[in-house]
Amino acid sequence: MVADLIFCSDVQQNPNISNDNYVSSDLDSIRQRGKLIAITDFNSTNYFVYKGEPMGFHYELLKAFTDYLGVDMEIITENDLENAFDLLRSGRADLLAFGLTVNSSRKKEILFTDPIVQTRQVLVQLKPFYWRSLTSDALNRLLIRNQLDLAGKTIFVQTNSSHYERLMSLSAEIGENINVIEVAWEAEELIRNVAKGEIEYAVCDENVARVNSTYYSEIDIRTPVSFPQNIAWGLRKENSQTLLNELNSWISAYKTSRSYALLYAKYFRNSRSSLMVKSDYYSLNTGKISRWDDLIKSASNEIDWDWRLLASLIYQESRFIPNVQSRAGAYGLMQVMPHTAKKLGINIKASPASNIKAGTMYINRLQAVFEPLIPDEKERMKFILASYNAGPGHVLDAMRLAGKNGKDPQKWDGNVAVWLLKKSDPVYYKDKVVKSGYFRGTESVNFVSEVLERYEHYRNIVPEEGSNRLTMNTVRNY
């Protein structure tokens, strides 16, 4: 099974979704359904795609926790805190995997896990344009360093964030008015607008501000406006105690591990962060996945696929390396076998474009094989992907074995996939319905899952660009 991702907009566009589509946060129910549903936001620390690979601090934490539970994860992306809380409270998700500041007002609404990190809230302000010529003392005299000097200033914060509450408390503490403006921008957008000079001041968490300061050297983040605060994940108060207990047990152990130390350093202490964010293949900024996007988009039109699905398949085959060759002789971006290319009449080594053309021509042939056999479009895609990896003969064998043994030959998960795995057992590959003999199906079953999982990450981060072709509206439930 794969990690399903959906847009919050899918929820918002369907306000009449019945309660049958809501989820229970009880741990047994999560294990029974086989997946944990979490809400997170996308930005340069929490969740993003870089060079075709899904990444992010909260994404990797979720992956580690769901691996520990032995379930898949479904991610709902939502950068608006109010919407995220509504989704959690309404029962559409089990977990709010944001960097939530733990405070008393939020404790009235949700349950918090044990802290994942600790950080402070800091003032984000713009240095003068000649700051490099100044001494530290001279620079400090030009910037706000004393919280008392926030009196009368206008400071922007994310709507419904803990930063608003903190600044209101600070205003009361100093006995002067601080003009706090809530906007529907998350931390990175606030910081970017300070760096551009669009706003004077913002407040956000120090760990996020520190990362952003590596690619906005003109901002200053050295003035704290709070003491250190706990950052945690949130759960609904109803029917979440067993999940909370399991999460806290896991967090306690994981935070002492080398894996956690490396993960935190990767996202919050990585001097290369600025290079990554400035890359053409940092998808949040550019919408690009690879250097071959234009070729992929053009080729996807020939097979009526969402280009991001084809990109995921190509990443799986070659990691977007154009001249890679497997030990079996498969070549190029789409790892086309020489005998297949010969039948198609294409020189797969001539160019990346010719390699992609060969791969998509082969996909069209597979679509012709399975269209009359698998009426459901979502299911058919899995059979086509499996056949791209294994060859159609082995998949057709698995369909016949499934049907013979009381399984549905038109469904992949739990049915044909199971029998493709059994084709390495002589009891089954010697069955008279088998035409293509022995096959070790593990790689092909994993291939289907991994291509679709990555596609869902791409769909969540990378724009579709107006395509009306096969999208996650039709394949979300893999």
Give the pair of three-digit tokens for residue 175. 């006995």
Same structural domain, 130 and 244: no
Same structural domain, 80 and 175: no
Domain count for the chain: 3
Rounded to two decimals, what is the model's pTM? 0.78
Same structural domain, 394 and 329: yes
Of 203, 227, 251, the domain-final residue: 227
The CATH number that applies at residue 419 is: 1.10.530.10
Of 284, 303, 321, the domain-final residue: 284
Give the pLDDT confidence score for residue 9 in this predicted structure. 38
Same structural domain, 268 and 297: no
Report the distance separating Cα 48 and Cα 462, nearest Å: 9
Indicate the DSSP class of residue 305: B
Q: What is the CA radius of gyration of the chain?
A: 26
Give the pLDDT confidence score for residue 22 in this predicted structure. 58
Long-range contacts of 464-467 (CB under 8 A, 24+ apart): 464/306, 464/307, 464/308, 465/287, 465/297, 465/307, 467/300, 467/306, 467/307
Same structural domain, 424 and 356: yes
Same structural domain, 94 and 159: no
Give the pLDDT confidence score for residue 47 in this predicted structure. 93
Q: 157, 122 in Cβ contact below 8 A?
A: no
Same structural domain, 181 and 277: no
Cα three-residue angle 410-71-49, rounded to 5 degrees: 90
Amino acid identity for residue 122 in this structure:
V
Of 195, 212, 227, the domain-final residue: 227
Same structural domain, 180 and 324: no
* Alpha-helical runs (H) found in 7-152: 8-12, 27-33, 57-69, 81-89, 104-107, 136-142
Give the pair of three-digit tokens for residue 160. 């419904």
Same structural domain, 451 and 370: yes
Amino acid identity for residue 279 in this structure:
S
Strand partners, 229: 119
Q: What are the pLDDT tens digits along the chain (478 aa)?
A: 334 443 343 444 333 333 445 565 689 999 999 999 999 998 888 999 999 999 999 999 999 999 999 999 899 999 899 999 999 999 999 999 999 999 999 999 999 999 999 999 999 999 999 999 999 999 999 999 999 999 999 999 999 999 999 999 999 999 999 999 999 998 999 999 999 999 999 999 999 999 899 889 999 999 999 999 999 999 999 889 999 999 999 999 999 999 999 999 999 887 777 677 778 888 888 889 999 999 999 999 999 999 999 999 999 999 999 999 999 899 999 999 999 999 999 999 999 999 999 999 999 999 999 999 999 999 999 999 999 999 999 999 999 999 999 999 999 999 999 999 999 999 999 999 999 999 999 999 999 999 999 999 999 889 887 443 343 333 333 3
Same structural domain, 321 and 463: yes
Report the distance separating Cα 54 and Cα 97, nearest Å: 16
Strand partners, 179: 154
Same structural domain, 210 and 167: yes
Same structural domain, 129 and 110: no
The CATH number that applies at residue 129 is: 3.40.190.10
Q: Which helix (H) or strand (E) holds 342?
A: helix 338-344
Residue range(s) defining the domain that contains residue 392: 293-475
Report the distance separating Cα 370 and Cα 350, nearest Å: 30
